[in-house]
């Protein structure tokens, strides 16, 4: 199946994490020229090795901190200068702030807001002018199931995920007429070191909980590649009439419609 992605240019933030890495591998396998950013250089190199092992197109690596507007703007400008355009943006930065509500400091909440909520705002603000000039663009924001179904020990992350969902829907309505599609994917529990950390914090928590973080109707946690497959669909020409959605990739865990 030709997804018509060969030769496209994609910027993936948070590319050193499990989901960001899987997205990079999946897009590179489709012939996409990926630009991978993260704060950690070692994590970026590990993602580049995973892409090479899978036989995908070699990525461009760039360390960048999404809490810094100058680094975000500089990355967008560099991509356009060096590669000519930005066709795809995938925001995959995480908000790794966990703990009981009464134990969370202002600084913990601020870290989640700066890293994910405002981080996404900054990257969107940086790429949208370029996409408007092209009259073409595809954007996917990775939010999370906590944006709809709160987890007591991950309220900062769930809160910013809800904000990301709101931002996605709002911007999709503004930019659809410019041929820019903006969607989100909301992963449930996905196998990763992050999931293991959440499970440890939940097990040690005094907060009430009814469902283990790993529980899904499918009886298992998801795999990063399953989130990546959803992203590939949303940025491909197989979804040209899809914009403004939040697609759960959670094994049926979200209880609402």
Across the chain, where does the E strand assignment appear? Answer: 9-12, 33-38, 60-63, 88-91, 137-142, 180-187, 246-249
Predicted TM-score (pTM) of the model is 0.92
Domain boundaries, the chain: 9-249
**Which superfamily, per CATH, for 9-249?**
NAD(P)-binding Rossmann-like Domain (3.40.50.720)
Q: Burial of 52 by CB count in 10 Å (0-12 exposed, 13-18 middle, 19+ buried)?
A: middle
CA neighbor of 20 nearest in space, from 119, 110, 163: 119
Number of CB atoms found within 10 A of residue 212's CB: 11
Task: Give pLDDT tens digits along the chain (257 positions).
Answer: 789 999 999 999 999 999 999 999 999 999 999 999 999 999 999 999 999 999 999 999 999 999 999 999 999 999 999 999 999 999 999 888 888 999 999 999 999 999 999 999 999 999 999 999 999 999 999 999 999 988 888 899 999 999 999 999 999 999 999 999 999 999 998 987 766 666 666 666 656 555 566 678 998 889 999 999 999 999 999 999 999 999 999 999 888 87
Question: Residue 141, SS3?
Answer: strand
């Amino acid at each position: 199946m030709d997804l018509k992605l060969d030769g496209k240019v994609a910027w993936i933030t948070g590319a050193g994490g499990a989901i960001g890495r899987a997205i990079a591998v999946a897009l590179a396998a489709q012939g996409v020229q990926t630009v991978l950013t993260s704060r950690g250089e070692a994590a970026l190199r590990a993602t580049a090795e995973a892409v090479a092992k899978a036989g995908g197109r070699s990525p461009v690596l760039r360390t960048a901190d999404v809490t810094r507007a100058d680094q975000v703007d500089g990355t967008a400008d560099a991509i356009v200068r060096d590669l000519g355009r930005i066709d795809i943006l995938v925001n995959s930065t995480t908000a790794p702030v966990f703990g009981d509500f009464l134990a969370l400091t202002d600084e913990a909440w601020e870290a989640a807001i700066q890293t994910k909520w405002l981080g996404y705002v900054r990257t969107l603000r940086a790429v949208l002018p370029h996409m408007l000039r092209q009259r073409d663009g595809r954007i996917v924001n990775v939010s999370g199931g906590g944006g709809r179904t709160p987890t007591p020990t991950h309220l900062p992350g769930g809160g910013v995920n809800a904000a990301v969902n709101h931002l996605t829907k709002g911007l999709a309505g503004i930019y659809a007429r410019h041929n820019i599609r903006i969607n989100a994917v909301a992963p449930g529990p996905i196998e990763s070191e992050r999931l293991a950390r959440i499970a440890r914090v939940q097990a040690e928590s005094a907060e009430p909980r009814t469902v283990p973080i790993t529980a899904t109707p499918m009886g298992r946690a998801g795999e990063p590649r399953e989130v990546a497959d959803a992203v590939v669909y949303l940025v491909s020409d197989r979804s040209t009439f899809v914009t403004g959605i939040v697609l759960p990739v959670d094994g049926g865990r979200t209880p609402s419609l």
